[in-house]
Amino acid sequence: MRYGVPAGLLAAALGLVAALTLAPTSAAVTPDTPNTPAVLAAAPTAFAHPGVLNSRAQLDFVRAKVQAGQQPWKAAFDDMLASRYGSLSRTPKPREIVECGSYSNPNLGCTDEREDAIAAYTDALAWYITRDARYAKKSIELMDAWSARIKDHTNSNAPLQSGWAGSTWPRAAEIVKHTYTGGWPGQGRFATMLRDVYLPEVIGGKPNSNGNWELIMMDAAVGISVHLDDRASYDKALAIYLGRVPAYFYLASDGPQPKYPPRSTIDTRSELIDYWHGQSTFVDGLAQETCRDFGHTGMGIAAALHVAETSRIQGRDLYPEFKDRFRHALGFHAKYELGEAVPSWLCGGSLAKGLGPATEVGYNALHTRLGVTMENTRRLTEGRRPAGTENHFEAWETLTHAENPN
């Protein structure tokens, strides 16, 4: 007996704890704080490839549309190739240390890294659609240049910068690795870069930061985990995501106030209102950063939809679960982006608009696949086609996701 516990029972309990601690499985993620629900987030037994934002079936749909000259895909493709990201003469600008302060000040490699990642993704899409090997080789050149040099991200924006670039690199790598047969000797080194440089920076999230940070970081973590076939990291990232989405997009069914951000120190109403940038009236579709500005909110929307899209490809469709949050968030911001008068109760009667190219993936998932009527989102999305890139991590989503049923 020890402290009133039979020795045999104590040994069994300790053995169970050890087994749970050491087990390599990753079906469940334990909450870090009492207000965080335990979330079952089992990764697929085998990941689908290519499977980060775009599946093979989706890419085949796009390729057929472009080859047939159909719109809006042909115009979107032409715009992509004509952009600086589609240039076959692009020279990569890798750095050993990328230093990014708040709002990318200082900017020591921050823009170069993000834009080289977008270029690699652009070239990967161009390769798949045209089957011109020059584009696959250029994508490989960009990925190899960075994987040969980068070692770390520093300064205050390091997690967000890692999220922006880290969400884009695996989209490119998935297409090239799993569809280009011309060879990529450096793919192992590239995978090591994702595992050692990017994943540690994003996988833990940022509970107390504005929500777009954590959503973008999980966009990166989920994509990297798919590319690495890393089930444990996938589960951890998806669990953080499943807690963050309901804390970022409000629904009236949540109660009189939004959910507290999981794992954070925000746990009073006054702290929550401050966190929601002073907004104290909550309606369906309002986002945590609506009263900050639509630019950051658009990034949060885009990242949330990217993860949902990748999860669907990997066998777990999150759209039915988050359909109402997504449709209300898209429609709420679309109507004001389109020019509807801002009521006095919303953000003091003034909004900093500029949503960015954030709506295509969600509009396609909810309207094309699920048949949800989304008039404001439709008007905004179709009126801005073809959507390009905001030069951070959203790129060419009219091309890849407009009316794509797969």
Residue type at 42 in one-letter notation: A
Q: Which of 31, 25, 28, 27 is nearest to 243 (CA)?
A: 31
**Pairwise pLDDT comparison (40 vs 34), residue with the higher score:** 40
∠344-350-353 over CA atoms, to 5°? 135
In the block, which residue shows the tokens 């909004």? 351
Lowest mean pLDDT among 29-33, 35-39, 66-70, 316-320: 29-33
How many alpha carbons fall within 13 Å on the CB side of residue 37?
11
**Pairwise pLDDT comparison (17 vs 148), residue with the higher score:** 148
> pLDDT tens-digit profile of 345-379?
999 999 999 999 999 999 999 999 999 999 999 99
Q: Mean pLDDT of all residues in the chain?
A: 92
pLDDT value at residue 34: 34
Residue type at 348 in one-letter notation: G
Q: Which of 309, 394, 357, 382 is nearest to 58 (CA)?
A: 309
For residues 86-100, give the mean pLDDT.
Answer: 98
pLDDT of 16 above 60: no
Which of helix, strand or coil describes residue 355? coil
Q: In this structure, what token pair is assigned to residue 175? A: 């297409």
d(CA 240, CA 236): 6
Which of helix, strand or coil describes residue 374? coil
Q: Which of 385, 218, 404, 200 is nearest to 300 (CA)?
A: 218
Q: In this structure, what token pair is assigned to residue 145? A: 């240049």
pLDDT band at 40 (very low <50, low <70, confident <90, very high): low
**Pairwise pLDDT comparison (82 vs 41), residue with the higher score:** 82
pLDDT of 6 above 50: no
Q: Which of 229, 404, 195 is nearest to 314 (CA)?
A: 229
The DSSP secondary-structure symbol of 353 reads: -
pLDDT value at residue 42: 82
pLDDT of 75 above 60: yes
pLDDT of 332 above 80: yes
